Structure 1
């Protein structure tokens, strides 16, 4: 009975604060490698992941169990009002949202959490080609526009602590060259925030991995390639998804090694996920007593437990609460009670003082070696104007028959691969649309969206085949642009005219183009799932079968077309 009364009192207090319209949440700033509030006190993240799990389609290409759909957790006023009392009871001061929809309204949720003293860390990436690709990375206009639209959607709120430019994008030593694209994204997002007068931080959440490249990655993201100590390309906040502490472990057994490896780190750091599963038993969350203590406070500024909502993984079932089918009732677990006990009893030290923290320094970047491959030469800032100029000038343009975004993404990926293979047979290449973060070499068209890249490849092939209309068909997905220049090398001419100067050039991004009504509707529908959504294998098989069928039809048609086209060379 007392627990219910306590929760009711919390809810009343939160509602009263919301109704008063008084937003007194403190601004969080960086001092040296620490976080401070307006009063000069150390700020520690006592947080939780706050993202309902979307549909996860198991496949050999989805080894991380990443969702294909998402529910925006900050766009439903009813659920935010329902959950704020539980988050407050936990002692949480920060939540992390992994996927949000920039076309939806977030006023009510953000006000509810602000008035409860809860900050947000917002990931800018989205499922389904809405993030930097681990296997084929690029920093392109479509991603930059998506990131900036999200920033615009949240720019008026006072409780955005940070925006993450990626989550576990670099996952092994072979892929460390991808970090160059992450650093470029951080650079451009940071410049955009500064241009808008925003104090929000720019962060990244890293996978916990082998120290031989985990430490260089952290150093690289927070370094200054120019050795000017400006920090213009450095992240402001480093997150480590860490699950080393399992059950009732100890600092020496679980964290001492990681603590030592990050002892000299130069920007604020926190555990962007923690909470190792404990078999079938509740998680004790005793790691909080170490993380929020003098043992670790000289390096780390707290962390985020995973996760408020249920989340199924290969390791087992996460989650602090369960939600009734109608979304009206929240039932807490022993995990919830254990985390609450740890958070509410933690008293991290208030040292060093802000005046003694000094300013943040940005050292030189780590040198390339056998396990660290990223170059300090970064891709340029993507330009919508340059890529639009190119697209309008191309002789063969991608015009798909479908309007389904997921299907279009599948078609684009397969057609680019196929088109590049056709060019290879003609001793031509796709270097213009590619980039290497390891070599620090980026094609002129690398920073354009995938559809424009495909149109460029199509145009190269069409022109190499003497503009035979069949060479622009690509199974009916290509259309001849009658307004393009008529000379045979029009694709290369458009490349030179529109985008060549921007391969590694940098500038402050401008506001992204306004989405069309259809695009905004499509974006909104992608997050219109149940608030308590979770993995649903019963609905996954038909979706996967449909996509594979579509790809199969496209490729069979393409092979038929190619049989007649290769002879034209």
Structure 2
């Protein structure tokens, strides 16, 4: 299960691996226990859109010191999944992936970036669907497929963002999903789910879902069907409720789902500070039959004012009130029971693709997909040249070296990641923190007493949010287009 390496000093601590999860019908499932998995996630994109720098090799998972700091804070918060929007396949991610892995956290990765040629565009999508784009996409898959905590890949994010984009985009997103799934099937030692992260545009949301989740005739055609479906939703603001926030519409619209559905972003920031009252509903009995949790937007404070933690360029950080409030909401729930739910023996069956599934005028109802562009099939069959490879490595020090303060300004002392036992996922209380100096409240134990931004909006039509860490750890080597 756990790959070992001699690349680090003797005496280093060995990181235990989380259990790779599987998709079984409409749920994520731990194949060892048969338990369903609920995503308790946070969007992780330090630096916002300015942080992703391909030329210098920066991305959110390139600096192990930064990852260690953030993994400790996310572990104390109770998070079990991070969503990372932009990664550079040419950079070595072994230490950061190993840190989050040891902390009991999975990674959901967007394969695109905001740069031209590295995303599928909303306008004239056929012009962005070519072999060089897929080469870079497959490189991301190669870089992360061997980490046990890689949970899923997003083939697109908000590429469909209004009724007009529904005319041309759907076949191309479904084609990219097919190409990635075929690459994973050919070159990965285990299945890794691939799906789409949708904008919560209700006029086209359920048509988008139906288009990506229906089954085509023949096994080969079904490779284009998404394994998962997610949405970026900001309809719950402040002290709202299930109906006022129109979560009831989501549950009713997705009822009978044949794949896992979850929030790939949530957390309206008006009013501010946020109180996250939706948490108890997302993980409550009104939603868990249909939804598999969600990802709070976002970890770092940027100009859009969605942050849980404020960062400085010297690596120091301070928790925000939003962090405290989210932690309190998580702490009210019994995640031991929530994560112990068994997947039902019966499963929902996906509908056969048919134009009758589409209800919006002008939305594409033709399920004939574009064939892979010239040169792409050879990449799928033979693999990309100079493919990056990732592996779990030993970490020699779990202590955070940066100064981190609570929201009241008191310093958190002895902040560190707590490596979890093998096959353990993080939950509130796994890491209780160690206290403060200066009379602060401490990091706590997770107990009750203790609209998307410009970054998240489509860029070059792809709707892919960029992100980066503070500095680079190592360069693995360039791949050849």
Q: Does TM-score exceed 0.5, indicating one fold?
A: yes
In structure 2, relative to structure 1, the CA distance for the partners of 1:530 and 1:290 (3 Å cut) is: closer
Asked if residue 268 in structure 1 is aligned to residue 260 in structure 2, the reply is yes
Asked if residue 291 in structure 1 is aligned to residue 282 in structure 2, the reply is yes
User: Is residue 213–residue 350 contact of structure 2 (8 Å, CA) maintained in 1?
Assistant: no
Which of 39, 43, 54 is residue 33 of structure 2 equivalent to?
A: 39
CA distance in 2, matches of 1:273, 1:178: 21
In structure 2, relative to structure 1, the CA distance for the partners of 1:24 and 1:44 (3 Å cut) is: same
Give the superposition deviation at 1:97. Answer: 0.5
Asked if residue 52 in structure 1 is aligned to residue 56 in structure 2, the reply is no
Q: TM-score, normalised by structure 2?
A: 0.71
Asked if residue 137 in structure 1 is aligned to residue 125 in structure 2, the reply is yes
1:531 alignment counterpart: 470
CA distance in 2, matches of 1:372, 1:143: 25
Q: Secondary structure at the match of 1:20?
A: coil
Relative contact order, higher structure (CA 8 A, sep 6+):
2
User: Is residue 45–residue 467 contact of structure 2 (8 Å, CA) maintained in 1?
Assistant: no
User: Is residue 61–residue 67 contact of structure 2 (8 Å, CA) maintained in 1?
Assistant: yes
Which of 96, 100, 108 is residue 121 of structure 1 equivalent to?
A: 108
In structure 2, relative to structure 1, the CA distance for the partners of 1:319 and 1:365 (3 Å cut) is: farther
CA distance in 1, matches of 2:69, 2:369: 44
CA distance in 2, matches of 1:223, 1:249: 33
CA distance in 2, matches of 1:362, 1:245: 30
Asked if residue 210 in structure 1 is aligned to residue 202 in structure 2, the reply is yes
What are the Cα deviations for residues 149-204 of structure 1, in whole angstroms up to 9, with x where unaligned? 01111122110000111100011111112011010011110111111223211021
Give the superposition deviation at 1:382. Answer: 2.8
Which of 82, 102, 115 is residue 95 of structure 1 equivalent to?
A: 82
For the pair shown, the structure with the greater C-alpha radius of gyration is: 1
User: Is residue 144–residue 382 contact of structure 1 (8 Å, CA) maintained in 2?
Assistant: no
What are the Cα deviations for residues 425-451 of structure 1, in whole angstroms up to 9, with x where unaligned? xxxxxxxxxxxxxxxxxxxxxxxxxxx
Q: Secondary structure at the match of 2:223?
A: coil
Give the superposition deviation at 1:78. Answer: 0.9
1:473 alignment counterpart: none
What are the Cα deviations for residues 107-146 of structure 1, in whole angstroms up to 9, with x where unaligned? 0000011111100000000112211011120221122111
Q: Flag structure 1 segments of 5+ consecutive residues without an equivalent.
A: 1-17, 57-65, 388-506, 517-526, 533-569
Alignment of 1:23-422 (within 5 A): 23-37=16-30, 38-55=32-49, 71-129=58-116, 130-138=118-126, 139-176=129-166, 177-195=168-186, 196-211=188-203, 213-226=204-217, 231-254=222-245, 255-279=247-271, 281-313=272-304, 317-327=305-315, 329-347=316-334, 349=338, 353-354=342-343, 356-358=345-347, 361=350, 363-367=352-356, 370-384=361-375
User: Is residue 68–residue 127 contact of structure 1 (8 Å, CA) maintained in 2?
Assistant: no
Asked if residue 21 in structure 1 is aligned to residue 14 in structure 2, the reply is yes
Q: Secondary structure at the match of 2:294?
A: strand
In structure 2, relative to structure 1, the CA distance for the partners of 1:252 and 1:112 (3 Å cut) is: same
CA distance in 2, matches of 1:528, 1:54: 5
What are the Cα deviations for residues 30-55 of structure 1, in whole angstroms up to 9, with x where unaligned? 12201111311110000000012445
More helix by share: 1
1:513 alignment counterpart: 385
In structure 2, relative to structure 1, the CA distance for the partners of 1:228 and 1:322 (3 Å cut) is: same
2:446 alignment counterpart: none
2:407 alignment counterpart: none
2:462 alignment counterpart: none
Give the superposition deviation at 1:531. Answer: 2.0
Q: Secondary structure at the match of 1:342?
A: helix
Query: How many positions carry a matched residue from both structures?
Result: 372
In structure 2, relative to structure 1, the CA distance for the partners of 1:266 and 1:365 (3 Å cut) is: farther
In structure 2, relative to structure 1, the CA distance for the partners of 1:512 and 1:250 (3 Å cut) is: same
Q: Secondary structure at the match of 1:283?
A: coil
In structure 2, relative to structure 1, the CA distance for the partners of 1:339 and 1:363 (3 Å cut) is: farther
CA distance in 1, matches of 2:148, 2:387: 25
CA distance in 1, matches of 2:293, 2:67: 23
Give the superposition deviation at 1:357. Answer: 4.4
In structure 2, relative to structure 1, the CA distance for the partners of 1:259 and 1:355 (3 Å cut) is: closer
Give the superposition deviation at 1:352. Answer: 6.3
CA distance in 2, matches of 1:374, 1:49: 32
What are the Cα deviations for residues 348-394 of structure 1, in whole angstroms up to 9, with x where unaligned? 6468633514376453244456242242111112342799xxxxxxx
User: Is residue 134–residue 376 contact of structure 2 (8 Å, CA) maintained in 1?
Assistant: no
CA distance in 2, matches of 1:234, 1:160: 20
CA distance in 1, matches of 2:135, 2:349: 29
Give the superposition deviation at 1:268. Answer: 0.4
In structure 2, relative to structure 1, the CA distance for the partners of 1:509 and 1:379 (3 Å cut) is: farther
Q: Which moved more, 1:226-235 or 1:255-264?
A: 226-235
What are the Cα deviations for residues 463-522 of structure 1, in whole angstroms up to 9, with x where unaligned? xxxxxxxxxxxxxxxxxxxxxxxxxxxxxxxxxxxxxxxxxxxx9443123499xxxxxx
Give the superposition deviation at 1:225. Answer: 2.3
In structure 2, relative to structure 1, the CA distance for the partners of 1:377 and 1:531 (3 Å cut) is: same
1:524 alignment counterpart: none
Q: Flag structure 2 segments of 5+ consecutive residues without an equivalent.
A: 1-10, 389-465, 472-481
